[in-house]
């Protein structure tokens, strides 16, 4: 059996008549206000509970717990090891179970585990806790992306993906500004408890607000649902079928995208977890001021992400809105490497540029997969790519932290992140154009899509 267009053709329906089209389009606009805010908040809470460790590390977590710098780096990285190990199994569950219910369970579990980070005092128990937070969150991102493929068309997907992933820099923006002051007031341990509990509370709201598909949502009109499902089905005709999930995962473009995301994530998460420490050591600031300064690159990232997503959906170009940003980010890290000792201001300016350009192409990048792989294998393919990124994040968060503690400054970490991002950019250039199936009884279009 082929996984692809022959299966879904029978379900394609014609567009509604002109008299009902306007009402259907109005119904479709509701998706942006009913679904995406809930998705944004859930992913924001996930990112809060994985990224606030960097603030705790900068506040003296290692000193409080009497652990070595190497153990501190390992604690920061263990989240990503758990995230990597259970990415594919977790996503297979998404394919068999309701994504919405699975995310509900994950929200509650990781919220409790994140709060325990501020309670546990023993290294091995804290290491286990950090690993299990990664396990609990392992299905969240591919489940969210899969959910969006059911609710948004090709021409909307980069913006929808970006509004999801915007939770990443937005969360770090406010977390950097607020968590520093919370730590000054209550200490890093109580701060972790306070920031873990909102995920548990939001789990209840999530289950009440979000549905797995448009037909299940009471706020979607019948006309809007019918129009959306028809358009999504038509889009699948342009996607070449695959024999099975294994064949999809072994495709050369999927393997290449996985390697790109490994290198990319190595740079991103080395940056996210250790930026507060880099800033505090470089500028000798209090935790409150360190948090505020650490927030600046993420404000720039938000603006660049919105620009790239809008441009990508308008032109339907993906690759050409990914590799240049990654290249610029790598060059900016290289500049920070060169000026780290002579001028913190110039080095920090490089970090602002690097942070903005690392985040900018997320929307276009994750819009690539549904345009190349049929939706029957989309979840597993996204999980494969994201698990590769989790492995890169493990190495990035560990080695950037290890280099920071071993050398006593940030230069070696800058260089590692620069090299990884330049490699990601070069590999992205190697990605070929989308090949659509030849016209025939099962397929409606020919040719290849522009990248």
**Percentage with pLDDT > 70 across the chain:** 80
Provide the pLDDT confidence category of residue 261 given band limits of 50, 70 and 90.
very high
Task: Kindly provide the residue ranges of all beta strands, DSSP E only, lying in 118-211, ordered along the sequence.
Answer: none
Q: How confident is the model at residue 272 (pLDDT cuts 50, 70, 90)?
A: low
Confidence band for 212, pLDDT divided at 50, 70 and 90: confident
- pLDDT of residue 247 exceeding 50: yes
Which range among 256-260, 399-403, 415-419 has the greatest average pLDDT?
256-260
Give the residues across from 435 on adjacent strands: 448
Of the ranges 244-258, 284-298, 313-327, the best mean pLDDT one: 313-327
Using pLDDT thresholds of 50, 70 and 90, give the confidence band for residue 423: very high
> Helix (H, G, I), strand (E, B), or coil: what is residue 435?
strand
Most confident option among 191-200, 256-265, 309-318, 360-369: 256-265
How much of the chain exceeds pLDDT 90, in percent?
A: 8
Question: Using CB atoms within 10 A of its CB, is residue 262 exposed (0-12), middle (13-18) or buried (19+)?
Answer: buried
DSSP string, 367-428: HHGGGTS-TTTHHHHHHHHHHHHHHHHHHHHHHHHHHHHHHSSSHHHHHHHHHHHHHHHHHH
CB-CB contact of 171 with 294 (8 Å)? no
pLDDT score of 441 more than 70: no
pLDDT tens for 319-369 read 888 999 999 998 988 887 787 677 777 878 888 888 889 889 988 998 888
For residue 429, with 0-12 CB atoms within 10 Å meaning exposed, 13-18 middle and 19 or more buried, which class applies? middle
The larger pLDDT score, comparing residue 72 to residue 437, is at 72
Q: For residues 146-156, give the mean pLDDT.
A: 85
Q: How many helices (H) and strands (E) does the chain have?
A: 22, 2
Task: Average the pLDDT over 374-400 and give the result.
Answer: 79
Give the Cα separation of 197 and 36 in Å (integer): 22
Half-sphere exposure of 266 (CA within 13 A, CB side): 26
Q: Which of 183, 75, 47, 170 is nearest to 132 (CA)?
A: 75
The tens digit of pLDDT for each residue in 20-56 reads 677 777 778 888 888 889 989 988 888 776 667 766 7
Closest CA to 350 of 338, 362, 333: 333
The Cα–Cα gap between 219 and 293 comes to: 42
For all residues of the chain together, what is the average pLDDT?
Answer: 78
Reported residue count of the chain is: 451
């Amino acid at each position: 059996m082929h996984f692809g267009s022959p299966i879904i053709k029978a379900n394609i329906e014609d567009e509604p008549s002109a008299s009902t089209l306007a009402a259907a389009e109005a119904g479709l606009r509701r998706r942006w206000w009913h679904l995406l805010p809930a998705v944004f908040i859930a992913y924001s809470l996930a990112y809060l509970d994985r990224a606030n460790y960097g603030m705790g590390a900068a506040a003296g977590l290692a000193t409080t717990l009497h652990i070595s710098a190497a153990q501190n780096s390992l604690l920061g990285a263990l989240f990503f090891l758990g995230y990597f190990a259970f990415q594919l199994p977790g996503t297979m569950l998404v394919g068999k179970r309701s994504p919405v219910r699975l995310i509900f369970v994950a929200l509650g579990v990781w919220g409790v585990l994140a709060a325990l980070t501020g309670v546990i005092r023993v290294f091995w128990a804290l290491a286990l806790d950090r690993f299990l937070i990664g396990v609990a969150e392992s299905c969240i991102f591919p489940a969210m992306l899969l959910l969006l493929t059911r609710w948004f068309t090709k021409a909307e997907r980069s913006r929808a993906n970006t509004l999801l992933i915007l939770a990443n820099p937005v969360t770090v923006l406010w977390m950097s500004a607020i968590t520093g002051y919370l730590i000054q007031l209550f200490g890093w341990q109580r701060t972790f408890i306070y920031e873990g509990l909102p995920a548990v509370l939001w789990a209840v709201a999530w289950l009440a607000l979000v549905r797995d598909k448009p037909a299940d949502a009471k706020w979607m009109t019948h006309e809007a649902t019918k129009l959306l499902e028809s358009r999504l089905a038509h889009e699948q005709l342009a996607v070449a079928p695959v024999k099975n999930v294994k064949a999809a995962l072994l495709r050369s473009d999927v393997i290449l995208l996985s390697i790109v995301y490994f290198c990319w994530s190595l740079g991103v998460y080395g940056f996210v977890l250790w930026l507060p420490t880099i800033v505090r050591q470089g500028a000798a600031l209090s935790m409150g001021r360190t948090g505020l300064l650490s927030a600046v690159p993420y404000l720039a990232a938000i603006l660049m992400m919105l620009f790239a997503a809008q441009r990508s959906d308008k032109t339907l170009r993906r690759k050409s809105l990914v590799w240049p940003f990654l290249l610029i980010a790598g060059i900016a890290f290289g500049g920070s490497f060169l000026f780290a000792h002579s001028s913190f201001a110039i080095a920090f300016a490089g970090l602002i540029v690097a942070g903005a350009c690392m985040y900018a192409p997320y929307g276009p990048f994750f819009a690539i997969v549904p345009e190349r792989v049929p939706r029957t294998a989309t979840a597993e393919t996204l999980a494969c790519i994201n698990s590769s990124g989790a492995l890169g994040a493990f190495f990035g968060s560990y080695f950037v932290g290890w280099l920071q503690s071993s050398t006593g400054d940030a230069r070696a970490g800058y260089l590692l992140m620069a090299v990884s991002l330049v490699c990601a950019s070069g590999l992205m250039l190697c990605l070929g154009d989308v090949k659509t199936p030849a016209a025939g009884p099962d397929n409606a279009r020919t040719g290849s899509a522009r990248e």
